[in-house]
């Protein structure tokens, strides 16, 4: 609970938690700070938007329709409620009335059960990003707003998150091949809905957002009872923590350049001494293919011990008078079907020649048993965690070693690109953005 009065944060001349409709000029000013974007011409890829049909994302679409014409709305139907298909079609009709092309994305393999919200979120983002790649979009606009940011910071503070966690969500999150952009973080939920009311645009309210069986919903409803000055406190805390996070990420990038070398095989060479804890945590996250870094206390213990160990799906080895960080074999993803563009183990993207017969072709770890001449003299424990292609239970290619089985000549040219979900150094944008347009 925040006891003292907090001054209202101002964003492009307006109170962040004002209930007044968002002007087109204010939205355009905000977007100008989040570029650069492709020219607004049909021969360039469109800017994509994730539109659920709710008040936040539909307001984003409405504002964006006046900002530029070359847009693509992506509407995801989770199929978890009987009426979801009808709501998706209704949303597409509303987008078409705004002259925004829309594409329906249906999730067919999402089952009800434990961790439903988390699994739905992961499936939604995976499908959205795949659609962006299909249409050549490099920017995806999301409808998170000021209340979402303040709520996230409040929840993280209640769970004793560190300073970087209190940054909440960024204006821009950079992922491989795409930027996730949240242009509404300076506008309140109520302001967005009032914008739609003023424009006589209806939206869909998802009943799951009021289902108090979900802990996140219960926490959100508690947060909504707070006064604007309390929300302002957490919004400001998120902005301040975001500035701190970007400063630390710049420092981390400088240290990485000095003390670590990332290898295309997914290993990291760290020199004779382990780097600082923050850098070490970032390396563990990327090499382990994780979305979040390990607990800082565990990284501190590992650094203090300075001995070979495993942590968060990675393995530390002292090899030829230097530390090596590699994937832990037991933690790697199971085998999966090989397709062009498949992401395996949250770290490697597969690219296959057009002539390859994909039926029965699988991706899995290379494992042990590779002849020394195939390993090019490298130790077996390093090669065991490389991605490999398998067919009928037999290893047929290890692209990082340049090896292809004699009976699979079409696999020459196949490659795995190391592209973890979260890169070691970040280009994300947190905190206050410039407001001098």
Pairing mode, strands 394-398 and 387-391: antiparallel
Query: Counting beta carbons within 10 angstroms of the beta carbon of residue 276, is it exposed (0 to 12), middle (13 to 18) or buried (19 or more)?
Result: middle
CB count within 10 Å of CB 212 equals 9
Pairing mode, strands 268-271 and 261-262: antiparallel
CA distance 124 to 189: 22
Closest CA to 430 of 187, 147, 185, 257: 185
- Known binding residue 241? Answer is no
- Known binding residue 53? Answer is yes
Q: Classify residue 69 by its DSSP letter.
A: S
- Known binding residue 56? Answer is yes
Q: Which residues of 83-116 are buried (b: 16+ CB within 10 A; e: fewer)?
A: ebeebbebbbebbeebebebeebebeebeeeeee
The answer to whether 290 touches 313, Cβ cutoff 8 Å, is yes
- Known binding residue 54? Answer is yes
- Known binding residue 341? Answer is no
Strand partners, 229: none
Annotated binding site: 52-57
Binding residues for ATP: 52-57
């Amino acid at each position: 609970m925040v006891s003292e009065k907090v001054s209202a944060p101002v964003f492009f001349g307006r109170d962040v938690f004002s209930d007044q409709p968002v002007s087109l000029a204010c939205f355009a000013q905000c977007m100008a700070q989040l570029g650069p974007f492709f020219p607004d011409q049909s021969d360039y890829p469109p800017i994509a938007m994730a539109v659920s049909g709710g008040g936040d994302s539909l307001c984003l679409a409405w504002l964006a329709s006046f900002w530029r014409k070359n847009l693509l709305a992506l509407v995801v139907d989770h199929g978890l409620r009987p009426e979801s298909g009808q709501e998706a079609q209704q949303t597409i009709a509303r987008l078409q009335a705004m002259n925004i092309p829309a594409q329906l994305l249906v999730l067919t393999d999402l089952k009800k059960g434990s961790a439903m919200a988390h699994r739905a979120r992961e499936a939604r983002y995976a499908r959205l990003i795949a659609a962006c790649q299909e249409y050549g979009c490099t920017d995806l606009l999301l409808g998170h707003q000021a209340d979402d940011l303040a709520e996230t910071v409040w929840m993280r503070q209640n769970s004793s998150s560190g300073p970087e966690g209190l940054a909440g969500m960024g204006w821009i999150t950079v992922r491989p091949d795409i930027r996730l952009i949240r242009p509404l973080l300076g506008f309140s939920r109520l302001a967005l809905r009032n914008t739609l009311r003023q424009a006589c645009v209806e939206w869909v309210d998802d009943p799951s957002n009021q289902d108090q069986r979900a802990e996140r919903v219960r926490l959100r409803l508690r947060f909504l009872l707070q006064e604007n000055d309390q929300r302002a406190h957490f919004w400001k805390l998120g902005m301040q923590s975001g500035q701190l996070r970007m400063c630390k990420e710049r420092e981390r990038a400088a240290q990485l350049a000095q003390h670590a070398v990332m290898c295309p095989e997914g290993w990291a060479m760290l020199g004779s001494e382990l780097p600082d804890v923050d850098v070490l945590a970032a390396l563990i996250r990327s090499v382990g293919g994780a979305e979040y870094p390990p607990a800082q206390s565990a990284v501190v213990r590992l650094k203090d011990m300075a001995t070979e160990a495993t942590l968060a799906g990675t393995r530390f080895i002292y090899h030829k008078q230097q530390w090596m960080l590699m994937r832990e074999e037991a933690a790697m993803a199971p085998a999966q079907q090989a397709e062009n563009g498949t992401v395996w183990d949250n770290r490697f993207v597969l690219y296959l020649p057009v002539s390859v017969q994909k039926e029965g072709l699988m991706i899995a770890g290379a494992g042990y048993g590779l002849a020394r001449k195939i390993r090019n003299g490298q130790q077996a424990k390093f090669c065991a965690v490389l991605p490999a292609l398998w067919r009928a239970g037999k290893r047929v290619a290890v692209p990082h070693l340049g090896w292809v089985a004699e009976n699979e000549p079409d696999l020459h040219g196949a490659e795995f690109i190391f592209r973890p979900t979260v890169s070691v150094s970040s280009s994300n944008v947190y905190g206050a953005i410039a407001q001098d347009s």
